[in-house]
Homo-oligomer: A and B are copies of this chain.
Amino acid sequence: MRAEIIGVGTELLLGEVVNTNAAFIARELAALGIACHNMQVVGDNPARLRAALDIALSRSDLVITTGGLGPTKDDLTKETIADALGVPLEFHQPSWDHVLNRLAARGRTPEPSHRREAMMPIGARVFPNPQGTANALAITTAKTVPQKEAASSQTVIMLPGPPREMAAVFQDEIAPCLSAQSEGTIVSHNLHFLGIGESQLEAQLPPGLLEASNPTTALYAGTGEVRIRLSARAATEQEAEDLIAPIANQLKDQFQDYLYSTDLDLQTALVQTLKEKQLTIATAESCTGGRIAAKITAVAGSSDVFGYGVVSYANSAKMEVLGVRPETLAQFGAVSEETAIEMAEGVKNLSGADIGIGVTGIAGPDGGSVTKPIGLVWVGIAGANGVAAKQLNLGRGLAEQRELIQELATTHALNLALRAARDL
């Protein structure tokens, strides 16, 4: 089965709303083992929606639309698609009851326009919307254009546009219905790497891996990191896992120096590792300005492993709160190996945590010099096994690189903390 998603709404074409619905549905389809090859977006315009539908029906077995089912004048999806498929609308009592019940629950009475939400194409399958007045619906029709695929019919599913309503009706009603129809399942795993470039990683991949069709292998570059996604399709989840495992193990082995986790982002991997080892961490941040603490505390349950963070932007904060020695600052400067280590030790002592991390650097745009250029960052780690520091050179010579340097420094610091936690 080949699926296609059409987002309907002028707000999408103006960029006022990001099309998160398409990503949600695509993830759900992938989990169901249904291939999605195309997405489209059109405005609240019947002619262009009709044209998009014609294109979709010429190549896809399943078309899912979002938006345009509401009561206002702009909402034309149902009327346009029913007309295109030659199906007249009729009054649908259960949908009208649904509208009345939903409105009554909020102490409201229907406007005349709400009646449109109860007009349904004859023979359509109607799916109650658990979060809104506009029900979802599906029309199944004989194939209008001959295609290679075996299916002899096509289905158009129309979902409401508000993401919460769309997600609720999809999960409650559409997913079970599609699951019953689809063959097999898709399983994906993501290997996360730091310290190696996308092209460097690709050049070392086993020959033919990127061209293989099951599992498929894809490379993604993020800020400072690279991810390999392995996806397998099989009759059962276990069979799909078995297809992925040998390749995943081979890649983990080959790139173990760069791998930081499977399926977990960096901060979650760090918090999990600390929890498993019953360790705690504390942060002392200068150039990252609180980003490391913010990443750690974004993880639910991080309070078990993190209690203290200091943003010591000023030298006085480094000395007074963290106990960095004035002589260290005078002799080596605020951005130095020595200061990073004393910051890490200082916050470790202040907090009683098992691991202290100290980050100091020059994010720019001012403050750079020949010996200490913008992008120079020192990360200090203090743990039970002593102290260590790493120098990073994150400057890219860009006009606006302050946030990039701060972000990269945060990523590197979290990675060093993760390695320190694993080694403890």
Interface residues of A (CB under 8 A from B): 7, 10-20, 22-30, 36-45, 48, 51-52, 55, 59, 70-74, 101-102, 105-108, 111-114, 130-131, 162, 164, 168, 188, 197-200, 202-203, 210-211, 218-223, 229, 231, 283, 285, 287-294, 296-298, 300-303, 306-314, 316-317, 320-321, 350-351, 363-366, 393, 395-400, 402-404, 406
Chain B residues with CB under 8 A of A162: 221-222
How distant is A345 from chain B, measured CB to nearest CB, in Å?
16
The answer to whether A307 and B314 touch across the interface, beta carbons within 8 angstroms, is: yes
Contact residue among B16, B223, B287, B293 (Cβ-Cβ distance under 8 Å from A311): B293
Chain B residues with CB under 8 A of A197: 108, 111
A41/B38 contact (C-beta < 8 A), A290-B292, A303-B314, A398-B130 known: yes
**Bound Cα distance from A145 to B387, whole angstroms:** 68
**Bound Cα distance from A402 to B27, whole angstroms:** 22
The answer to whether B406 and A298 touch across the interface, beta carbons within 8 angstroms, is: yes
The answer to whether B289 and A291 touch across the interface, beta carbons within 8 angstroms, is: no
Known contacts A13-B37, A168-B400; 19 additional CB pairs below 8 A are A14-B30, A14-B188, A15-B27, A16-B218, A16-B219, A18-B23, A19-B19, A38-B48, A40-B41, A72-B198, A73-B210, A111-B199, A112-B203, A131-B396, A283-B290, A288-B294, A290-B291, A300-B402, A303-B314
How distant is A127 from chain B, measured CB to nearest CB, in Å?
15
The answer to whether B312 and A316 touch across the interface, beta carbons within 8 angstroms, is: no
Chain B residues with CB under 8 A of A351: 314, 316-317
28 contacts between A and B (CB under 8 A): A14-B218, A19-B23, A22-B41, A37-B43, A72-B219, A74-B210, A105-B396, A107-B393, A108-B200, A111-B203, A113-B199, A131-B398, A131-B404, A162-B222, A164-B404, A283-B290, A289-B297, A289-B309, A297-B363, A300-B364, A300-B365, A300-B402, A301-B366, A307-B317, A308-B312, A308-B316, A310-B321, A320-B350
Q: Which of A70, A164, A289, A395 has the most CB of B within 10 A?
A: A289
The answer to whether B290 and A297 touch across the interface, beta carbons within 8 angstroms, is: yes
The answer to whether B300 and A309 touch across the interface, beta carbons within 8 angstroms, is: no
The answer to whether B37 and A48 touch across the interface, beta carbons within 8 angstroms, is: yes
Chain B residues with CB under 8 A of A71: 198-199, 202
**Bound Cα distance from A72 to B209, whole angstroms:** 13
A297/B406 contact (C-beta < 8 A), A71-B198, A309-B310 known: yes
